[in-house]
Amino acid sequence: MIINVDVDGVLRDIHTPYINIYNKIHNTNYVLSDIVNYSLDILLKLEKPKEFFLKHYIPIFRDAKPYNNIEYLNKLSKNNTIQIVTSQYKGLESTTIDWLNKNNVYYDSIHFTHDKQLIKGDVFLDDYIYHLNKSTCSDVICMDRTYNKEWNGKRISDIKDLYDLLNTT
Ligand SMILES: [Mg+2]
């Protein structure tokens, strides 16, 4: 089975450092549960979100913590092909590759694209409804986050759920 897996919001928690940095700069008190829309830029009223990300890429991307249980992806890799399919700002690709290596994420291939449906696979796991809706994979799975509650399809809470799901169906 070919499993296409997103990085940010699925394996890497960029939202916690993002909100912490924003709160520190703007003296605000946003918490993760305030993020009810995928675009934090709207919530945080950022005029130049790309510049904000690029300026703070070290804490947001390089030093971000992994979500719990991402090691289950490595268990899945024993009997499946893992393709990382991620949309990144140009220039941050190597930071993401380094992060995956640092956090011992095994993968067979990595694809940087905004058109994720171009990468064929059997399973598609993402946290962004826009990508979930466009996927042509037969099994489309949402990583449960506060900002994707409108998704009506299959949903998991962490990578262990994916492991359990694929090993019992
Ligand atoms: Mg994502």
Q: What is the DSSP string of the chain?
A: -EEEE--BTTTEE-HHHHHHHHHHHHT----GGG--SS-HHHHTT-S-HHHHHHHTHIIIIISPEEPTTTTHHHHHHTTSEEEEEE---TT-HHHHHHHHHHTT---SEEEE-S-GGGS--SEEEES-HHHHHH--SSEEEEEP-TT-TT--SEEESSHHHHHHHHHH-
- 38-91: pLDDT as tens digits: 776 666 777 777 888 889 999 999 999 999 999 999 999 999 999 999 999 888
pLDDT band at 165 (very low <50, low <70, confident <90, very high): very high
pLDDT of residue 41: 66
Q: Are 55 and 106 found together in one domain? A: no
Q: Are 55 and 74 found together in one domain? A: no
The residues placing their C-beta within 5 Å of ligand 1, an ion, are 6, 8-9, 127
pLDDT of residue 169: 60
Range(s) of the domain holding residue 108: 2-12+66-168
pLDDT band at 151 (very low <50, low <70, confident <90, very high): very high
Ligand 1 midpoint to CA 9 (Å): 5
Quote the number of domains for the chain.
2
Is 13 a residue whose pLDDT tops 80? yes
Ligand 1 midpoint to CA 157 (Å): 14
Ligand 1 midpoint to CA 25 (Å): 24
Ligand 1 midpoint to CA 126 (Å): 6
